[in-house]
Structure 1
């Protein structure tokens, strides 16, 4: 990778994936769709980003956060456009799919990862690889309280565990029905919506989290095949799933 290559700052690898962050994974897929060279930089402190969230990029003198704003910049910067061949109906459906995944299902996943006790236990095992035990003992509860407050403000953590489970399973059912026996969600070739779906579903399926929604997602063969297909296509360097 050359010194002038775009730098992508994202969470460290986990679950056999190049990054634990679903939005970082989405952005990497889009960069590979656009054939834009980049260097992945591990940055587990998202507060260092320009919008205090992960991922973000540095491209020359430009620092930019938020995947949609980053992709808009990249299309203008490199003259390559995602989803160029979609018709208006496909674009509309792709937009709806992305928003459901990013604005609703992502909250469910974060709840299972960071609020549920079994999910938090798995998260602590991941964090322990990068954070010394004493520091994790101090920082861990602070991180967890921050996410619990964040999810309460966004809305999902205002519900009971049973209500969140029902909402998450409804999302999974909708995704499985939408995909059906097709390879991709919107068109014959992958789109930005597929990159978004791969980012969220890969961490859901591959994390092994014991929460009811993640477990339910793994029971949907077409969604598991979608994850396997997407990772094999865009990250051929990853070991094949047994």
Structure 2
């Protein structure tokens, strides 16, 4: 049996991390049976990062590596009809989401205006987490942000990066259907992983305001959410 290990849910979203939610949504959309284990400790994960899967006893990390493994092993056809140009688009959007990840994370852990709401939500929904642990996580993330670079930005500069990423997604996603047509593909699962972690959070970040102001982003997110929540 295939098992997905990822961070816990928050605000009704199956994983509070965009990458774990991306893999979760992909598995659901592709019709692959799996069990889902929520963990906080990533020490047993490949490269010490979540999400990862264990498939027939083999641990596989990195969301893109996981998807490639699943497509090959289970002969999934979710992206079979894509043209070379569409596959190039998917690659570029995947890298854009890597950039958006840092701004989204910054909004939760670095910005003094929004961290208290995130902290309180974690403690309310996960009794095993206390304020000391969350403050320690905040300190750890601050180091990550500094070395990645986003932590050296003023908040308005950091959000400008994220808003420009969201604008690309708003320009890409059609009013109806999905990125490449009437059926969702793996790139839709990836976009959902990040947009859902903004849209469903009742925390008024600039990212949240942008998503709320773009009906196509909201519609796309809610359509995928409905499909993977069955």
Partner of 2:93: 97
Q: Distance in 2 between matches of 1:189 and 1:62?
A: 31
Structure 2 stretches lacking a partner, 5+ long? none
- Pairing of 1:148-159 with structure 2 (within 5 A): 148-159=142-153
Report deviation, 1:105.
0.7
Partner of 1:65: 61
Structure 1 stretches lacking a partner, 5+ long? 237-242
Give the count of matched residue pairs. 229
Give the one of 149, 156, 161 matched to 1:162.
156
Aligned to 1:51, what secondary structure does the other structure show? helix
Partner of 1:106: 101
Aligned to 1:185, what secondary structure does the other structure show? coil
Kindly provide the CA deviation profile for residues 71-103 of structure 1, in whole angstroms up to 9, marking residues without a partner as x. 2222232222441110011111111111101x2
Partner of 1:240: none
Q: Distance in 2 between matches of 1:77 and 1:183?
A: 28
Structure 2 residue 191 is the aligned partner of structure 1 residue 191: no
Partner of 1:22: 18
- Answer whether contact 2:30 2:78 (CA < 8 A) is retained: yes
What TM-score results when the alignment is normalised by the length of structure 2? Answer: 0.92
Q: Distance in 2 between matches of 1:14 and 1:137?
A: 16
RMSD: 1.7
Structure 2 residue 97 is the aligned partner of structure 1 residue 122: no
Kindly provide the CA deviation profile for residues 163-189 of structure 1, in whole angstroms up to 9, marking residues without a partner as x. 112222222222112214242123332
Give the one of 200, 204, 207 matched to 1:210.
204
Q: Distance in 1 between matches of 2:220 and 2:87?
A: 20
